[in-house]
Amino acid sequence: MTPPELIEAAVNAGLTAIALTDHDTTSGIAEFLRVASRRGIIAIPGVEISTSHAPGEMHILGYYVDHRDIVFAQQLEWIRSARRARNEEIFHKLHKLGMHLTWHEIYACAGGDEVVGRPHFAQVMMNRGYVRSTKEAFKRYLTRGCPAYARRRTIEPADALGMIHDAGGLPVLAHPFTMGLNRGETRRMLYALRDWGLEGIEVFYVDHDAARQELYMKYADELNLVPTGGTDFHGARTPDIKLGSGFGGLRVPHDTVTRLETRRRELGYTQRERSRNTRP
C-alpha cells in the first residue's frame, strides 16, 4: 500500500494510531505524516532494521526516528546496498534452479526498486506458478539452508540501537521469538540489549499466543521496557492479517503510544535540538 492508502485503511479500521516501519527505509514517512495530519489519526514515523544474529533473526524497530536526518539516511543506504547484493545472489540462484524471474516483475511487486526483499521474490515465484504460496517459496527455497537462500551483510544489534537513538528514535525489539532462543537465552539477550539502549519489546503480536504475550510482558516489567505491539501488516502479501487486528483477535492498547511518548520525554527527545544536519 502507498502511505495514503495505509492511512485510509487505518482510519476505516477505527485505529487511533499507526506506525509506518518499512524495512531499511524512511522514504514514505513524509507523505505518511502529511496525510495522517489531515485524517485525525496519530502517525508514528518508524523503520525496521535487520541485525546480525544467530540462530534466528533479530529485527529492531525504530519508533519516532527523524526521517530528515542525513546521517541516518546514509546509514540506511549502507544497509540497503547489502540488501541489493543479496538480491542479486538470490536472483541468480533462482535462475539456476529454472525459475526465470525478471527484475521488472520483482520491482513491480515491491512498488519500486529501493527496498526489495525475499517476500517480493516469493510473490513473483507464486505468480509464475513455481510455488503454490509465498509460504512454500520460503520453506523450499528462500529460508536459511535452502537452495536459493543468500546471506546478507547486516549490522550488529548494538550499532542498530545506537543509530536509532542518534536519530531521535526509540529502539524496540520486534517479535522476540524469531531470535530462535530459549527462555533463558532470551532473557540474557534482553538484558544485553537493554544495556545497549533497547527501550521496548513487542509484546502484542499476531503470532504471540497468551503464554508468549504473558512472558514478554513479564520481561518488559522486569527490564523497564515499554511493551509495544503490532500486526506486522504487509498488505496483499499477507492477506489473512488485517490491519490493527491481525487474525481478528489482536488488540494493541492505545496506552502503548502514551508510554512511548513518556519514554521520549524522559530521554529528552521531544524537545531535543538536532545536532546533525537534517533535510527540510
**270 or 223: which carries more pLDDT confidence?**
223
What single DSSP character describes residue 112? S
At 218, which helix (H) or strand (E)?
Answer: helix 210-223
Angle at 11 between CA 7 and CA 12, to 5 degrees: 115
Q: Using CA atoms, how far apart are residues 169 and 162, in angstroms rounded to an integer?
A: 10
Which pTM was predicted?
A: 0.86
The Cα–Cα gap between 131 and 125 comes to 6
| Cβ contact 230:19 at 8 Å | yes
pLDDT-derived band at 237 (thresholds 50, 70, 90) equals confident
End-to-end CA distance of the chain: 25
Q: Tell me the per-residue pLDDT of 148-202, one tens digit each, with 9 for 90 and over.
A: 999 888 899 999 999 999 999 999 999 999 999 999 999 999 999 999 999 999 9
Q: Compute and round to an integer the Cα radius of gyration of the chain.
A: 19
List C-alpha distances in Å: 154 to 39, 120, 138: 37, 19, 20
pLDDT, one tens digit per residue, over 29-83 is 999 999 999 999 999 999 999 999 988 899 999 999 999 999 999 999 999 999 8
Q: Grid coordinates 512498488 are at which residue?
A: 111
Q: Does residue 121 contact residue 128 with C-beta atoms inside 8 Å? A: no
Residue holding cell 525475499? 118
